[in-house]
Amino acid sequence: MAIGSYPSTRLRRTRQAAFIRDMVRETRLVPAQLIQPLFVAENALRGPVAAMPGVTRLDLDELVRECEALYALGIRSVALFPVTPAERKTPNGDEALNPDSLMCRAIKAVKQALPQIGIVADVALDPYTSHGQDGVLDEAGRVDNDASCEILRRQALLYARCGVDIVAPSDMMDGRIGHIRQVLERDGCKDTLILSYAAKYASSFYGPFRDAVGSGSNLGKGGKETYQMDPANTDEALREVALDLDEGADIVMVKPGLPYLDIIRRIKDGFGVPVAAYQVSGEYSMLKAAAANGWLDEKKAVLEALVCLRRAGADMILSYHAKDAAGWLGA
């Protein structure tokens, strides 16, 4: 009988009890690998997000308390997303460069209260534009790549000066990483990390997020296919990552998460750099809805999904489940 054949080799032996399953487990998930996205709002814009059960738009005091609670659970980083009042949205997203914007005040408030927590700041114009696109439009109504990059680099620098640890350009404009890295170096913010949304797909899974930040209604029937990636493409993702790394990105992101496990693995194998995955709002809402209907065990399904992202090669995961997952992992 050949060595390694049945019955000499029974793989079920290492599955028969919890102690041995724990010892041979290949992929580990710990709270420090999770990043909790948080929505920041004021006045009437505060409150629950209907399309994302359990997610709430927080004012500054609530934000600080939530960050403290997350840190106590072992989560070491949060990603902030502002909700901008309609009256402050303009075609050019001017509020993105306001040094007294809600985002700037949020960064400072969290850093003052909890300096040890890492803050990831979204760099994009869609929370601030009246048309809902991630960049400014030219006279023909198309997103102007280079004009948008000029604003994005100033936005990133503003957040760096406010004390943010990581700027995360999510816009998918060509060349924006180089623009941002150059201005950060020039201004003495050389230690500010850039987490690039390098492979961000034009996905159908973003709907609940757009409702949460109020950009969906502005976008209307418009799409973002001229700058976000085609879901059918994989080689193109590697080109995007290579360009962003060459321009100075420290971490590259794949968004969405679970539908793009193959992209995460190809990037990790191909570049060997820190890789983030974003388990997006649509993924969150689907799991929540299924659990609410009794179709899935929420705890088991969520932890399985997060482990799958880690197994594919993600070093860190942005997830709206992060707080719950950290609690389950520590239980």
The rounded distance, in Å, linking the Cα atoms of 198 and 206 is 16
The rounded distance, in Å, linking the Cα atoms of 317 and 276 is 6
17-27, pLDDT tens digit by residue?
A: 999 999 999 99
Residue 2: pLDDT over 60: no
Provide the pLDDT for residue 218: 66
53 assigned to some structural domain: yes
Quickly state the pLDDT bin for 223 (edges 50, 70, 90): confident
287 assigned to some structural domain: yes
11 assigned to some structural domain: no
151 assigned to some structural domain: yes
The rounded distance, in Å, linking the Cα atoms of 266 and 122 is 25
Catalytic residue among 200, 224, 268, 288: 200
Provide the pLDDT for residue 52: 96
69-100, pLDDT tens digit by residue?
A: 999 999 999 999 999 999 999 999 999 999 99
Catalytic residue among 89, 224, 255, 323: 255
Provide the pLDDT for residue 213: 84
25-59, pLDDT tens digit by residue?
A: 999 999 999 999 999 999 999 999 999 999 999 99
The rounded distance, in Å, linking the Cα atoms of 84 and 126 is 10
250-300, pLDDT tens digit by residue?
A: 999 999 999 999 999 999 999 999 999 999 999 999 999 999 999 999 999
Q: Where are the alpha helices (DSSP H) in the chain?
A: 18-24, 60-72, 102-113, 145-162, 176-186, 207-213, 216-219, 235-247, 261-271, 281-292, 298-312, 322-330
The SS3 of residue 236 is: helix
Contact between 179 and 149 under an 8 Å Cβ cutoff? The reply is yes
181 assigned to some structural domain: yes
pLDDT over 70, % of the chain: 96
15 assigned to some structural domain: no
Residue 66: pLDDT over 90: yes
- CATH code of residue 249: 3.20.20.70
pLDDT over 90, % of the chain: 91
Whether residue 268 lies in the annotated active site: no
- The count of structural domains within the chain is 1
Residue among 56, 54, 37, 38 nearest 46 (CA): 56
Domain around 261? 29-330
129-160, pLDDT tens digit by residue?
A: 999 999 999 999 999 999 999 999 999 999 99
pTM for the structure as a whole: 0.94
Q: Check whether 150 is labelled as a binding-site residue.
A: no
76 assigned to some structural domain: yes
Whether residue 89 lies in the annotated active site: no
54 assigned to some structural domain: yes
Could you give the C-alpha distances from 14 to 29, 152, 294, in angstroms and in order? 20, 52, 31
